A = this chain, B = another copy of it.
Amino acid sequence: MSNVKALPLLEPEAHEAVAPCCPPLTERPFTAEEAERTARMFKALGDPVRLRLFSAVASAEAGEACVCDISDVGVSQPTVSHHLKKLKEAGLLTSERRGTWVYYRVEPSVLAAMSKLLTTTATP
Protein backbone atom coordinates (compact mmCIF):
# COMPACT_ATOMS: atom_id res chain seq x y z
CA MET A 1 0.00 0.00 0.00
CA SER A 2 2.75 2.49 0.84
CA ASN A 3 5.04 3.04 -2.03
CA VAL A 4 6.13 6.49 -3.07
CA LYS A 5 5.90 9.24 -0.51
CA ALA A 6 7.59 11.98 -2.45
CA LEU A 7 4.80 14.26 -3.52
CA PRO A 8 3.11 16.65 -1.12
CA LEU A 9 -0.41 15.69 -2.10
CA LEU A 10 -1.34 12.04 -1.78
CA GLU A 11 -4.68 10.72 -2.91
CA PRO A 12 -5.53 7.76 -0.67
CA GLU A 13 -7.99 6.45 -3.26
CA ALA A 14 -5.47 6.54 -6.02
CA HIS A 15 -3.00 4.32 -4.23
CA GLU A 16 -5.40 1.42 -4.01
CA ALA A 17 -5.31 0.71 -7.69
CA VAL A 18 -1.66 1.16 -8.43
CA ALA A 19 1.38 -0.99 -8.08
CA PRO A 20 0.78 -3.84 -5.62
CA CYS A 21 -1.37 -5.55 -8.15
CA CYS A 22 -1.19 -8.93 -9.66
CA PRO A 23 0.94 -11.58 -11.31
CA PRO A 24 1.22 -11.76 -15.09
CA LEU A 25 -2.03 -12.65 -16.81
CA THR A 26 -0.40 -15.79 -18.13
CA GLU A 27 0.82 -17.15 -14.83
CA ARG A 28 -2.43 -18.48 -13.45
CA PRO A 29 -6.13 -17.69 -13.69
CA PHE A 30 -6.96 -14.43 -11.96
CA THR A 31 -9.12 -14.47 -8.90
CA ALA A 32 -12.25 -12.34 -8.82
CA GLU A 33 -10.54 -9.78 -6.64
CA GLU A 34 -7.43 -9.52 -8.78
CA ALA A 35 -9.57 -9.18 -11.87
CA GLU A 36 -11.66 -6.46 -10.27
CA ARG A 37 -8.60 -4.44 -9.36
CA THR A 38 -6.77 -4.91 -12.63
CA ALA A 39 -9.81 -4.33 -14.81
CA ARG A 40 -10.11 -0.85 -13.34
CA MET A 41 -6.82 0.15 -14.93
CA PHE A 42 -7.53 -1.40 -18.30
CA LYS A 43 -10.97 0.14 -18.29
CA ALA A 44 -9.50 3.56 -17.69
CA LEU A 45 -7.42 3.18 -20.83
CA GLY A 46 -10.30 1.65 -22.75
CA ASP A 47 -11.60 4.95 -24.04
CA PRO A 48 -10.02 6.68 -27.04
CA VAL A 49 -10.18 10.13 -25.48
CA ARG A 50 -8.62 8.97 -22.22
CA LEU A 51 -5.96 7.09 -24.12
CA ARG A 52 -5.01 10.22 -26.02
CA LEU A 53 -4.93 12.27 -22.83
CA PHE A 54 -2.84 9.67 -21.06
CA SER A 55 -0.48 9.37 -23.99
CA ALA A 56 -0.14 13.14 -24.14
CA VAL A 57 0.83 13.31 -20.48
CA ALA A 58 3.07 10.25 -20.67
CA SER A 59 4.98 11.60 -23.63
CA ALA A 60 5.31 15.15 -22.34
CA GLU A 61 8.85 16.49 -22.22
CA ALA A 62 8.92 17.55 -18.59
CA GLY A 63 7.10 14.44 -17.44
CA GLU A 64 4.05 16.55 -16.88
CA ALA A 65 1.54 18.43 -18.96
CA CYS A 66 -0.79 21.33 -18.38
CA VAL A 67 -4.42 20.68 -19.17
CA CYS A 68 -4.34 23.53 -21.61
CA ASP A 69 -1.66 21.75 -23.63
CA ILE A 70 -3.51 18.48 -24.07
CA SER A 71 -7.18 19.40 -24.24
CA ASP A 72 -7.32 19.41 -28.01
CA VAL A 73 -8.78 15.94 -28.39
CA GLY A 74 -12.05 16.74 -30.07
CA VAL A 75 -14.35 16.96 -27.07
CA SER A 76 -15.50 19.84 -24.90
CA GLN A 77 -13.44 21.10 -22.00
CA PRO A 78 -15.71 19.71 -19.28
CA THR A 79 -15.45 16.32 -20.92
CA VAL A 80 -11.66 16.53 -20.86
CA SER A 81 -11.82 17.34 -17.18
CA HIS A 82 -14.15 14.42 -16.62
CA HIS A 83 -11.78 11.98 -18.31
CA LEU A 84 -8.74 13.28 -16.47
CA LYS A 85 -10.61 12.70 -13.24
CA LYS A 86 -11.33 9.14 -14.27
CA LEU A 87 -7.66 8.54 -15.01
CA LYS A 88 -6.79 9.98 -11.63
CA GLU A 89 -9.32 7.79 -9.86
CA ALA A 90 -7.86 4.76 -11.60
CA GLY A 91 -4.46 5.68 -10.18
CA LEU A 92 -2.88 6.33 -13.55
CA LEU A 93 -2.35 10.06 -13.22
CA THR A 94 -1.72 12.58 -10.49
CA SER A 95 -2.47 16.28 -10.63
CA GLU A 96 -1.07 19.38 -9.05
CA ARG A 97 -2.17 22.98 -9.28
CA ARG A 98 0.59 25.56 -9.76
CA GLY A 99 -0.79 29.05 -9.98
CA THR A 100 -3.31 29.34 -12.75
CA TRP A 101 -2.70 25.98 -14.36
CA VAL A 102 -3.12 22.38 -13.36
CA TYR A 103 -0.44 19.89 -14.29
CA TYR A 104 -0.89 16.17 -14.72
CA ARG A 105 1.79 13.51 -14.57
CA VAL A 106 1.90 9.75 -14.90
CA GLU A 107 1.95 7.76 -11.67
CA PRO A 108 5.46 6.29 -12.04
CA SER A 109 4.88 2.70 -11.03
CA VAL A 110 1.87 2.19 -13.24
CA LEU A 111 3.46 1.66 -16.62
CA ALA A 112 5.86 -0.94 -15.32
CA ALA A 113 3.14 -2.71 -13.37
CA MET A 114 0.83 -2.95 -16.36
CA SER A 115 3.61 -4.01 -18.65
CA LYS A 116 4.50 -6.79 -16.27
CA LEU A 117 0.91 -7.99 -16.38
CA LEU A 118 1.32 -8.68 -20.07
CA THR A 119 4.68 -10.40 -20.05
CA THR A 120 4.75 -14.05 -20.98
CA THR A 121 6.05 -16.35 -18.30
CA ALA A 122 7.93 -18.37 -20.87
CA THR A 123 10.82 -16.23 -22.14
CA PRO A 124 12.30 -17.70 -25.34
Chain A residues in the interface with B (C-beta under 8 A): 25-32, 35-36, 38-40, 42-52, 54-56, 58-59, 70, 73-74, 106, 111-112, 114-115, 118-120
Contacts and interface: CB of A to CB of B under 8 A. Distances in A.
A39 B25 contact: no
B74 A26 contact: no
A31 B74 CA distance: 11
Nearest to A31: B52
Q: How many copies of this chain? A: 2
A120 B73 CA distance: 23
Nearest to A29: B56
Contacts of A52: 29-32, 35
Contacts of A59: 25-29
A106 to B, nearest CB: 8
Given A42-B45, A114-B118, A51 B70 contact: no
Given A25-B51, A30-B56, A32-B73, 10 more contacts: A25-B54, A26-B58, A29-B52, A32-B52, A35-B48, A38-B51, A39-B48, A43-B47, A46-B46, A111-B118
A77 to B, nearest CB: 17
